[in-house]
Structure 1
Amino acid sequence: MFQKILIANRGEIALRVLRACKELGIQTVVVHSTADADAMHVRLADESVCIGPPPSRDSYLNIHQIVAACEITGADAVHPGYGFLSENAKFADILAAHNITFIGPSGDHIRIMGDKIEAKRTAKRLGIPVVPGSDGAVTEEKEARRIAAEIGYPVIIKASAGGGGRGMKVAHTEADLEIALQTARSEAGAAFGDDAVYIEKYLEKPRHIEVQVFGDGFGGGVHFGERDCSLQRRHQKVWEEANSPALNAEERSRIGGICAKAIADLGYSGAGTIEFLYENGEFYFIEMNTRLQVEHPVTEAITGIDLVHEQVRVASGGGLSVKQEDIKFNGHAIECRINAEDPRTFTPSPGTITHFHTPGGLGIRVDSGVYSGYKIPPYYDSLIGKLIVHGRNRVECMMRLRRALDEFVVDGIKTTLPLFRDLVGNADIANGDYDIHWLEKYLAKGE
């Protein structure tokens, strides 16, 4: 087991990882920018190192500063959390060159899954169902028209190196294709420095289903069930739940088994999430995230297994603590992402929190690094906390969520709590009847 882990992140995920390390008896080091000097994870860590000014490029994305912090403090491993450098293959490679363990997959696996085209090829080779579309990058309009005609309209054009909805355009007819192709390529080049795009069949009313997987580092793999992340705004997840209200036990077992076998065959090590669009009983691979997900607590709630403990165990060479037959699913869990944003316009709302009170009681978990008097800096992601609620079934979970949202108080800034109070009372949400377009349509009606 590791002696000292450096946590290369901030906010609630840094605190989440720190707590897991303390439970395992591992010393912790956190890095922080000058803007985060008063953050909760900085206060609670065994050691802290300031690595630069507020801009991420000068601090949390500064690989040389983070490696130097490891060497200064004697950290023998780095947990990257999510975001920032968590899916940076170069970072993983540099740490390995300095004999520091990256708590995550190999740089090669990060590279494969970070390239959307190569990821799709790999998924297909591993037996994972994929969305019909181009086999690689599409460079000419003539080729794009041929592929679109074969798979049928509507089609979606995506940036190969993309994410967060950038470099994505839908063409409903052949007349739309040329401008969609040009716009997607232009956006991709501007956002990612790579204008390569590919084409897929556009599904009209799919759900977003993701499967939590783990590779043991020795050629084995397991799955921890699925999460439904269909409630999204501008391709950003807002509300996640496990298990999905859209799947039955047979579908859950089938797709989970496919993903676990694929991870084993890939020789993958650590946590990963294989993401799908799901429509009419069929799953279509869209991407794999080679890191811990923001929404991992809902999986922990229904399995009773600490996924960060498993990450540390696997990275240290100890393999997984469970076999597939040991993983049981108990009840239902929902996570709401609480952002420091205006609940109607979604404009960021940095500032000082004057009062912060979290809900409690059976089945309630709040992951947050903020506190009364904490000043939210304007430089980073607006996520300030996650409310995770667990019940014996979905009905009980929704009842408990409604109560927890009523208890949650954040004063001094605007948050998205009012949005969730509206959603929990909506009939479609109560019935689990929604797809990836539902939330944006709902929000548009309220404008």
Structure 2
Amino acid sequence: MTTAPTRFAPSGPLTGTVSVPGDKSISHRSLMLSALAVGESRITGLLEGEDVLATAAAMRAMGADILRGDDGVWTVHGVGVGGLMQPGQALDMGNSGTSTRLLMGLVASHAITCTFTGDASLSHRPMGRVIEPLSAMGADVSASPGGRLPLMVRGLAPAVPLEYRLPVASAQVKSAVLLAGLNIPGVTRVIEPVATRDHSERMLKGFGADISVETDADGARIISITGEAELKPQTIAVPGDPSSAAFPIVAALIVPGSDVTLTGIGMNPTRAGLIGVLRDMGGDIETLDEREVGGEPVADLRVRHSALSGIDVPPDIAPSMIDEFPVLFVAAAFAKGTTRTSGLDELRVKESDRIAVMAAGLAEIGAQVEEAEDGLTIIGTSGDMLPGSAHPIASSLDHRIAMSFAVAGLHCRDGASVDDMHPVQTSFPTFEPMLRGLAEA
């Protein structure tokens, strides 16, 4: 299928109040844990993007009854921990690395066999970091060369409890091991030297799992879960996704005269790194109506155009904003002075090589950028427009790359053309209408 490029160009200040789709990480976990509970769970605010729909389809294939009501409320009748059924065909994960890695964990401790497939982008992403601990728990994993999709997981029940120290900061690996541990007799432990997003721990506790979190003398988090759990159905309100909110936030900061309010954004501290970095750069981001919804901190954010200044971004903040770096690079391109980032090796193995792809695209629209192995150094325009480019920017089938250059185009003299906006359907189906609405308000 040939997709026509989409052009984004200056159209005046962005104003108004918007919501963003539900948090993708929480949406995935809501469906998975509801499918493992006994009884009916209800989910509101679920992200209805392609990634999350792939998770819903996979859980249906393994026996859960999942329905979307006309009112947008999703109901899930679960099969119970240990009750997953053998799917009749391969599970197509589309572009969703989260679905794949977490579901591999679920399957690993059930006596079923599942084949996982995905699109071209997902099939290039390495799964070895998940295969290693799941194999140690007794699962038999047959992967394509390089530990990639398509791959087959033959689960083992009962599997073997494990104490696993994460070699790299990864919420997906942590979650895969914890989800496997749900159906394993005994205690499974994950030790993470660097804290990553903790949605799995919060939600597992909410569903009634026996889970504890401690901190050792070195500051590492030790998460312990006791298996053969009995999960209780829940009513879940999914907050707005902070990773999706990043795009209208940066757009409002860089477009002169903008004043945008975003409602109901998840403010989990393991996900809020970008807000702090943008504030350190001089961004006017006001937190309003702080509250808690379903165990997750939530707030409204008012964002106004700001004169940003370049900073050295601390590498230890990367886990709390790993998905937001592409749009941070865009903000840095319009800041005063130099922004330096490092410690971002993980960006090389996301939906695309986000360091290389962002460096090439920024250079295409006229930004001064220097690529290193683990980050970018960007010299900003002090708020002035970049030249832009009529030549389509290569998004490499990466939704966050595509949205980042859409935002950049709003403050480029000649705009910016993005080669393919279809991948945005995975996480933010309403992105383009939202931008148009803010420009027309």
What is the TM-score when the length of structure 2 is the normalising length? 0.29
What is the TM-score when the length of structure 1 is the normalising length? 0.28
